[in-house]
């Protein structure tokens, strides 16, 4: 009887731990399964360019393998209110980005960055963009400079959280909040008016869109990509 009670107790504890783990994962969807490019395609196309490879559980942009069918990767689905998590690392002198609210209309907008907001991904010291204000890693590209730079050295993985909820946008890099702003209000319009995007039609106006990983022609890796719709 004692052995039975002890075994039942262990089972209850294990079951409770399992339930809590499921609850912690509740609502999260993997955008990248670590094995395939399912759920993604190259912007304006139905397939994924040859430069994007799945290696060791990561999406790897290999510039040496690029062909004419390459370009930014975009999700098949659109998102509005969400919490996005992922990790990235870059090769020396590399430039890339995580784009949000991309309106995929390739005939009207030739690139995801024509409409999508960008969290900069960069080798700050090795790439020339690192010398430009609001163009460094973690910045809301050309709009808001990050409040600090907790970015890790080239070749190391960086953790990203992007939270967009009812017009409130927040960037976290390696668990440090670095950007916080309100989208689509008068201040937002002023930010765009003072940026390189001032004359870009409809830039930063879409309240729903796709998420993109930028092909800037440089070597970059992304992994552990998940999203929770809010």
Angle made by CA atoms 132, 136, 225, in degrees to the nearest 5 = 150
Domains, the chain: 29-229 (2.60.120.560)
Distance from C-alpha of 105 to C-alpha of 112, rounded to nearest angstrom: 9
How deeply is 37 buried, as exposed, middle or buried, from its count of CB atoms within 10 A (0-12, 13-18, 19+)?
Answer: middle
pLDDT band, very low/low/confident/very high, at 4 (cuts 50, 70, 90): very low
pLDDT above 70 as % of the chain: 89
How does the average pLDDT of the chain come out, rounded? 91
Convert the pLDDT of each residue in 110-152 to its tens digit: 999 999 999 999 999 999 999 999 999 999 999 999 999 999 9
CA–CA gap between residue 74 and residue 90 (Å, rounded):
19
Contact 78, 210 (CB under 8 A): yes
């Amino acid at each position: 009887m004692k052995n039975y009670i002890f075994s039942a107790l262990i089972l209850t504890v294990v079951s409770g731990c399992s339930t809590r783990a499921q609850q912690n994962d509740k609502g999260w969807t993997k955008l990248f399964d670590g094995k395939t490019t399912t759920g993604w395609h190259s912007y304006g196309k139905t397939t994924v360019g040859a430069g994007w490879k799945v290696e060791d559980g990561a999406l790897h942009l290999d510039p040496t393998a690029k062909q004419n069918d390459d370009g930014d990767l975009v999700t098949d689905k659109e998102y509005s209110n969400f919490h996005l998590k992922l990790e990235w690392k870059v090769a020396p002198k590399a430039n890339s980005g995580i784009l949000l609210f991309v309106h995929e209309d390739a005939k009207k907008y030739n690139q995801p960055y024509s409409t999508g907001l960008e969290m900069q991904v960069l080798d700050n010291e090795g790439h020339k963009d690192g010398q430009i204000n609001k163009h460094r890693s973690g910045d809301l590209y050309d709009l808001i400079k990050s409040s600090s730079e907790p970015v890790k050295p080239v070749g190391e993985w960086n953790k990203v959280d992007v939270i967009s909820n009812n017009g409130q946008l927040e960037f976290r890099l390696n668990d440090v909040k670095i950007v916080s702003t309100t989208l689509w209000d008068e201040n937002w319009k002023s930010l765009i008016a003072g940026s390189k995007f001032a004359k870009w039609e409809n830039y930063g106006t879409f309240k729903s869109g796709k998420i993109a990983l930028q092909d800037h022609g440089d070597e970059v890796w992304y992994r552990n990509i998940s999203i929770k719709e809010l």
